[in-house]
Structure 1
């Protein structure tokens, strides 16, 4: 593993950082205070991101994306992660990699327009009674001739109110397991406006203002078999093959936010005077900075090592779980300590710290809770020993 950056990587980091500071930071205050990302602002950012070559950077070149390798993708994500989530995720879209799993007809209809910025997708898995236990989902799809009929609901579906279609995972059967019956899952494309498919307002979220979630309802929603993604009952295979690196993506954006919070804390500690000297000279503050820097470095190494292994075909589920676990818990610690160093000013919205602190909370929940990540890690440790 090479710890240095190539010239191309340096260029991508510098370009992304400059874009974030020039095009995203100026809109943060409005989005944070209103909770709304205005459509004209979104379209403006999208247009500039496409022009800068930053749009759909995660998608392979053969499908019109930038084709970044996973290491470079994580460097890019880290820079984007420093900004308000709605601004960078919706404005500088990274279409779901799972779209690449579609057949030629599906890629033409769904993937290519997303890469071009003409359409956007949302991924629908979670349900009110099936969060981490996806194989316990209740929403169903039943075959009816050349069609499938979908019923049930999904919730916490990110930016579904802006999407043109949903990639929905539905129960299509059952199988016996050592722990009883578990659902067999199949993935489908469902276009917005399809009869029987409705998008409802979701919940007000303390994290990531402007980045919405919705409730999806299916009431005898009929779709054609051409809209199946992958094979019947093989939805988890599709997800595992194409969504694995999303945990690293979460970790990388957390690292970016931590770096922004740390930079504010470091500058404040050097400049703020108390008792005749800068507060950074007091161990109560300087040791916090040392611990923050150490945790950030540890998270970065775990993320980049897993990204390197991903590109080399040697990554394990435990590698990605460790990276996601460390980065998300590190961000919570760094955000909290950055506020503590600033004192009362850290909680004022003149600084991005209170936003970073709020946003940090969701990271230990979505894309697999910290408890799920620990389960994956411990399982990998114990299984070889029969445990």
Structure 2
């Protein structure tokens, strides 16, 4: 693993950071104040992102993406992660890689319009009674002639309100396992205007204002068998194959926000004076900065190593879980300490710190809770010994 940046990586980092600072930061205050990201802002920034070559940069070159290797893509994600989540995710969209698993016809209908900024996708897995236990889902898809009939509810579905279609995971059967019966899962494309498919407003969230979630309801929703993504009963394998790096994406965006909070803390520690000297000279502050920097560097290295190993084909579930666990918990610590260093001003919305602090909370929950990550790591340690 090389620790130096290539010329291309440095260019991507500089370009993305400049775009974030010039095109996303100016809209943050409005989105935070209103909790809403207006479509006119989305469209305006989207055009600029496409012109800058930053839109859908996570996707392969053959479908119009930037063709970035995983490590470079994570560096790009880190820079985007500095900004309000709704702004960078919606305006500089990164279509789900799972769209690559579609047929040629499905790619024409769903993938390529997403690449051009003409459509948005969303992934629907989580249910009110099935979060981390995906194979415990109760929403079903039943074959009926040349169609499937979908019934059930999904919730916490990110940006489903603006998505033109959903990639929905449904139980299509059951199999016996050593731990009892488990659902067999299949993925489907469901267009927003399909009869029997309703998108309802979700919950108000303390994190990521403007980045919405929704409740999806399926009531005898009939779709053709051609809407199936991948093979019957293979949805779990499909998700593991195409969505494995999402934990690293979360880790990378956390690094960006932590670095932004860290920068504010360092600058304030050098500028703010109390008792006749800079507060950074007091051990109570200087030790905080040292701990913050160390934790940030550790999370950086875990994330970059996992990204590098992903490209080498040697990454393990534990590698990705360690990166996600460390980065999300590090962000919470850095954001909290940055506010503590600023005192009362840290909680005021003149600075991005209170937002970063609020936004950090969800990172330890979505894409697998910290407890799930610890379970994955410990299981990988114990399995060779029969544990």
Pick the TM interval, shorter chain: over 0.9
- Deviation, 1:170, is 0.2
Describe how 1:116-155 pairs up with structure 2 within 5 A: 116-155=116-155
Secondary structure, aligned partner of 1:361: helix
Q: How does 1:147-296 map to 2 (within 5 A)?
A: 147-296=147-296
1:2 maps to: 2
Post-superposition offset of 1:177: 1.1
Distance 1:6 1:213 in 2: 38
Across the two proteins, how many residue pairs are aligned to each other? 387
Are 1:367 and 2:371 an aligned pair? Answer: no
1:276-321 CA-to-partner distances (Å, cap 9, x unmatched) read 1000001100000000000000000000000000001000000000
TM-score of the aligned structures, taking structure 1 as reference length = 1.00
Work out the CA distance in 1 between the residues paired with 2:134 and 2:308: 28
Match of 2:297 in 1: 297
Q: Distance in 2 between matches of 1:379 and 1:386?
A: 10
Structure 1 segments of 4+ aligned residues over 3 angstroms from their partners: none
Matched, 1:29 2:35: no
1:21-75 per-residue CA deviation (whole Å, 9 max, x = no partner) reads 0000000000000000001001001010000000000010111111111010010
Q: Distance in 2 between matches of 1:6 and 1:173?
A: 48
Matches within 5 A, 1:64-143: 64-143=64-143
Gaps of 5+ in 1: none
Cα offsets for 1:89-145 (capped at 9, x unmatched) = 000000000000111111111111101111110000000000001000010000001
| 1:309 and 2:309 correspond | yes
Give SS of 1:210's match: coil
Query: What residue in structure 2 maps to residue 12 of structure 1?
Result: 12
Distance (Å, rounded) in 2 between the aligned partners of 1:385 and 1:180:
23
Shift of 1:179: 1.4
Q: Structure 2 CA distance, aligned partners of 1:102 and 1:96?
A: 11
- Return the alpha-carbon distance in structure 2 between the equivalents of residues 3 and 245 of structure 1: 21
For 1:116 and 1:53, how far apart are their aligned partners in 2? 11
Instruction: Tell me how far apart the structure 1 counterparts of residues 67 and 32 of structure 2 sit (CA, whole Å).
Output: 32
Secondary structure, aligned partner of 2:59: coil
Secondary structure at 1:377's aligned position in 2? helix
Q: Secondary structure of 1:260's match?
A: helix
Q: TM-score, normalised by structure 2?
A: 1.00
Partner Cα distance (1:369, 1:173) in 2: 27
CA distance in 2, matches of 1:167, 1:118: 17
Per mean C-alpha deviation after superposition, the further-off stretch among 157-166 and 173-182 is 173-182
Q: CA RMSD in A?
A: 0.4
Q: SS at 1:167's partner residue?
A: strand
Residue matched to 1:349: 349
**1:277, 1:294 → 2: CA distance?**
25
Instruction: Tell me the SS of whatever aligns to 2:106.
Output: helix
| Distance across 1 between alignment mates of 2:118 and 2:29 | 27
- SS of residue in 2 equivalent to 1:66: coil
Cα distance in 1 for partners of 2:319, 2:18 equals 31
Tell me the distance in 1 between the aligned counterparts of 2:49 and 2:332. 29
Structure 2: segments with no counterpart, 5+ residues = none
The CA deviation at 1:243 is 0.4
Q: Distance in 2 between matches of 1:119 and 1:42?
A: 12
